[in-house]
Amino acid sequence: MAGWRGYLQQLGWWLAHRLGREPERVLAREHDALGELRVTQAGELRYLYFGEETEQSCALIGNPAWLEYDYTRAMLLAGFWLPQIERALALGLGAGSLVSAVLQHLQPAQMRAVELRPAVVELARRWFALPQVPELQVVVASAEQYMESLTEPVDLLLLDLYLEDGIAGAQLHMDFLQQCHAALRPGGLMVVNQWQQGSSGKPYAVHRLRELFGERYLQVEVVEGNILLFIPQAGELALDRQAMNVWADRLTAQLGYSLRPYIEGLRRAG
């Protein structure tokens, strides 16, 4: 039942998001073993679809680091706890907007993005201006295979694995979540984009998450129905909203939006 309520909540957001939007024109279509990929444009916004209806990414033309979705904006809060990032890892690329934003605003010395579908990487580069810079390496592989071979710990791990029909199964499995968490260096942080169980304020796989991490992580729900989890390598993350707002205000001009709403919504699990 909770899953059905979550679907309706996300459907409501999707309908509201599309109302009043300019008609979209198709720029590109690709097919691979997992189905169709489609790039469309409406006004100044460009979209990546998985299949016919699953809007996977949205980008502002001319500004690849712009984040249109609340859930991606909320993921930038990681920068408060990680003022210096040596290595960042993103599991799931999509159109690359989040990767572009992390590179520009959090400025890791090195960043690696892992994407299952070669065609997605090609479309991100061709239509969404994915940066081709020395700091960024894109790896075509499944997230599970990549994590099995990872030898270097990371400061920041962004987990955002979604397919045409929803959240990837790996993102709900204890072994995989544990493997991702084990890849963090001391002081590191894992940010997970999960679906919310209806309007409960609880993420999918909540019992598994609490079994692994207790109630020491922070979470915030966003309008799309997603819930973002901020899971530290050890200990608890400081929840100092005053300090976070000062930090966020320094970023507002370069971001073009404020991170304050996500700071206000942050709370401890449980």
d(CA 100, CA 102): 6
Q: Average pLDDT, stretch 15-22?
A: 53
Do the domain assignments include residue 142? yes
Would you state the pLDDT for residue 140? 97
CA separation (Å) from 227 to 28, 45, 126, 129, 265?
31, 24, 30, 27, 11
**Token digits for 231?**
């899971």
Q: Average pLDDT, stretch 46-69?
A: 92
- Alpha-carbon radius of gyration of the chain: 17
Beta bridge pairs of residue 226? 195
Do the domain assignments include residue 134? yes
d(CA 72, CA 226): 10
Beta bridge pairs of residue 264? none
Query: HSE-up of 16 (CA within 13 Å, CB side)?
Result: 9
Would you state the pLDDT for residue 101? 97
What's the pTM value of the predicted model, to 2 decimals? 0.88
Q: Average pLDDT, stretch 245-250?
A: 97
Q: Which domain holds residue 247?
A: 68-268
Q: Does the pLDDT value for residue 21 go beyond 70?
A: no
Contact 159, 171 (CB under 8 A): yes
Reference 262, options 56, 78, 57, 12; nearest CA is 78
Do the domain assignments include residue 31? no
Do the domain assignments include residue 33? no
Quick one: CA dihedral 65, 10, 93, 173, positive or negative? positive
Q: Average pLDDT, stretch 105-118?
A: 97
CATH number, domain with residue 166: 3.40.50.150
Do the domain assignments include residue 181? yes
Do the domain assignments include residue 176? yes
Would you state the pLDDT for residue 176? 92
